[in-house]
Structure 1
Amino acid sequence: MDSYWNSTMRRDCEVVKETLQTYYLSVSYSLEFCVGFLGNLVVVLGYMLCLPQWQSFNIYLMNLAVSDLIFLCTLPRLAYLYANDQKESSPYACMVNRYILHMNLYSSILFMVWLSMDRFLLIKHPFRNHYLLRSRTALIVSGLTWLAVNVQVCPLIILMIQDQEYRNWSTCTDFASLKGQVNSLNYSLGLTLTGYVLPLIALCCFSYQIAHLLRVQETVVQQRGRSFKRPLRVVVSVAAMFFCLYTPYHVLRNVTIAYQLSWPRPPLCTSVYTQVLYILSRPLAFLHSVINPVFYFFMGDKFKELLSKNLRKLLRKTEQQKNPSLDLQLKVACSIPNGD
């Protein structure tokens, strides 16, 4: 009787897990792609077409937008896979998609660190006389960032190949479900430390340093530096965003892997409930790519003004093309002399 009850409970737990994967993940990833792709595409095209002069901050922001845009492009395939019970017809496409997703997941927070560093240095060196505020330095830092993230994520390829061999190259699974000879828990913990915890600490440190500089400025000048209050609020909001979105995902991913490797097995349905929470946390973590474009408009150096100005020009030009007689009437009216 107990074995029958246990098997029934386990089956019910698995049904909840499979239902969430099929409906919750597929719908969430589709919505995040539709909303986030448009916002990041506007930023990328706006910088490419509207920005007359590139500074260090613009280079970091452009890399962040490109990273988020590439990240979002992996979500439609994931949505399709979860809607079709993770059945994979192209295992190599699965590995490439998962690799790109995790690479851009961790590059996003790193570029946010460089943006916060740039805001801190700009407040401390308003005339941009620091070498880290040079465009050439920003290009080098950006290149090294992409290299470092690839080094962090490349062991995932070994795990994915071993998992595909274990599953006969027929199923595309997430990070926490990978099976292989490599210790996935140690790798996940290391990636959590280097890819999330340390960058988050750096974000918090820059927030503290910006707040300290503002307090010193207010003490010396005896007035509130309103022009620098916004960078502080934005940097603090960025750190809070990554803490709230990334922390549940990383904690639950590591716990899920630990439960799969632990012996004896955890109590009935405990591991499945953990996996359910892990499933709920994944779209939450990926939400950063949808929210980031909001910060671009608050952090960018006159980006909002440049974009609005060029949009008005484009609308005016389109209106003139639709109604050329209006433009002709205005020219004729301006050429008629006034009769006194």
Structure 2
Amino acid sequence: MVALSIYSTNNYLNNYSMVPQCTQIDDMLEKYYLAPSYGIEFCIGFPGNLLVVLGYIFCLQEWQSYNIYLFNLAVSDLIFLCTLPRLSYLYANGQSETSPYACISNRYVLHVNLYSSILFMVWLSMDRFLLIRYPTRTHYLQSQRSALIITGLSWLAVNVEVAPMIALMTQDLQNENLSLCKDFASLNGDINPFGYSLGLTMTGYVLPLLGLCGFSYKIAQMLRVQDRALQRRTTSYKRPLRVVRSAAAMFLVLYTPYHLLRNVRIASLQPWAELRLCTKMYIESLYIMSRPLAFLHSVINPVFYFFMGDKFRVLLLSKLRKLVRKPKLRRESTLTISP
């Protein structure tokens, strides 16, 4: 009896000691993984997107359709990146967002950027496809007016997709007495979070990704036809194909783990899942690790701006050279005037 009692006590203590270990994984990841990751993404992505936005405003005089898509993409990334320092600070100090308005606005900006980025990349791919098919830009979708209409409808569509999440967050905050700001995958409310997440994944990610892959295939098909017809082509359209393929590969690699693990995380919290506590925590840990990877697109996107058009790149570099030369010329003129 004594041996059995000692064994039961040890077994209880072992189980008790294991529970805090698995429940602390998310706190450790938030402090030592999310906080530095978000800080690095801000430090690298913010200057690049700010440079692009300022370059479009002050350098580019003649805007074409793809410039409009790229500018909106850069603005979306820039606004999103401005939310990362706050998140990095909170995670580093083990704190939660205390303001319900800041909580909702932060999650709103995050998810709007997430789905507007891939949508604008689809329109950029469409523009590259039309450029190859109509090199003189005679198609009506290549006009500035069409690009502005498509841009406005895109913002509207993304906001409609994210609106149920805002309602779900508001209900969850009210249930928590406006004191606990949760991630989307941890929300509870009248809206079914699992069904909504699956729908958002299909409409916000899978369909646009299929659009990127479709335009990539069409561009490659047209280039093969042109190569057969013209053995010595002076004008090369290989760059649009590389850009579209790179964009599709980027979103496939960055977005797939996030959306897959987000849905698995939400499913693990449902009553019908009947998972153990530590299993839920391990799933949440994997989901946490996928979040900075998904948001990395805001850091990589500026690379596409420089490969989309030679004109913008030339104008921006010329403007930067002038800004660098001005202080040097002033110093030389000062030395010349001084006795």
Determine if contact 1:249/1:282 at 8 Å carries over to the other structure: yes
CA offsets 1:273-300 (integer angstroms, 9 cap, x no match): 1111101000000000000001111113
SS at match of 1:241: helix
Which of 153, 158, 168 is equivalent to 1:144? 153
- 1:210 and 2:222 correspond: no
Which of 279, 300, 305 is equivalent to 2:314? 305
Determine if contact 1:41/1:69 at 8 Å carries over to the other structure: yes
Q: Which runs of 5+ in 2 are unaligned?
A: 1-7
Mapped partners of 1:18, 1:80: distance in 2: 14
Residue identity in the other structure for 1:181: D
In the alignment, which residue of structure 2 is the partner of 1:53?
62
Determine if contact 1:320/1:327 at 8 Å carries over to the other structure: no
Q: Which moved more, 1:273-282 or 1:217-226?
A: 217-226
Mapped partners of 2:264, 2:252: distance in 1: 18
In the alignment, which residue of structure 1 is the partner of 2:86?
77
Q: Which moved more, 1:3-12 or 1:288-297?
A: 3-12
CA offsets 1:150-192 (integer angstroms, 9 cap, x no match): 0000111111111112222112111101122211111111110
Determine if contact 2:98/2:181 at 8 Å carries over to the other structure: no
- 1:129 and 2:147 correspond: no
Mapped partners of 1:128, 1:121: distance in 2: 8
Q: What's the % identity of the aligned pairs? A: 64
1:7 to 1:166, Cα distance in 2 relative to 1, 3 A: farther
Residue identity in the other structure for 2:73: L
Which of 269, 272, 281 is equivalent to 1:260? 269
Residue identity in the other structure for 1:246: Y
Residue identity in the other structure for 1:215: R
SS at match of 1:154: helix
How far does residue 62 in structure 1 lie from its aligned partner after superposition?
Answer: 0.4
1:65 to 1:48, Cα distance in 2 relative to 1, 3 A: same
Superposed, which structure 2 residues align to 1:78-227 within 5 Å? 78-223=87-232, 227=236
SS at match of 2:269: helix
- 1:290 and 2:307 correspond: no
Determine if contact 1:218/1:225 at 8 Å carries over to the other structure: no
Determine if contact 1:86/1:172 at 8 Å carries over to the other structure: no
Determine if contact 1:86/1:171 at 8 Å carries over to the other structure: no
Q: Which moved more, 1:49-58 or 1:255-264?
A: 255-264
SS at match of 2:179: coil
TM-score by length of 2: 0.93
Q: Which moved more, 1:6-15 or 1:33-42?
A: 6-15
Residue identity in the other structure for 1:238: A
How far does residue 206 in structure 1 lie from its aligned partner after superposition?
Answer: 0.4
Determine if contact 1:30/1:76 at 8 Å carries over to the other structure: yes
Q: Which runs of 5+ in 1 are unaligned?
A: 330-340
Determine if contact 1:22/1:84 at 8 Å carries over to the other structure: yes
Q: Which moved more, 1:179-188 or 1:126-135?
A: 179-188
SS at match of 2:236: helix
In the alignment, which residue of structure 2 is the partner of 1:275?
284
How far does residue 17 in structure 1 lie from its aligned partner after superposition?
Answer: 1.7
Determine if contact 1:320/1:326 at 8 Å carries over to the other structure: no
1:71 to 1:125, Cα distance in 2 relative to 1, 3 A: same
CA offsets 1:237-296 (integer angstroms, 9 cap, x no match): 110000000000000000000000133521452211111110100000000000000111
In the alignment, which residue of structure 2 is the partner of 1:228?
237
TM-score by length of 1: 0.92
In the alignment, which residue of structure 2 is the partner of 1:13?
22
How far does residue 73 in structure 1 lie from its aligned partner after superposition?
Answer: 1.2
Superposed, which structure 2 residues align to 1:35-46 within 5 Å? 35-46=44-55
Mapped partners of 2:337, 2:90: distance in 1: 57
How far does residue 48 in structure 1 lie from its aligned partner after superposition?
Answer: 0.7
Mapped partners of 1:253, 1:9: distance in 2: 25
Residue identity in the other structure for 1:213: M
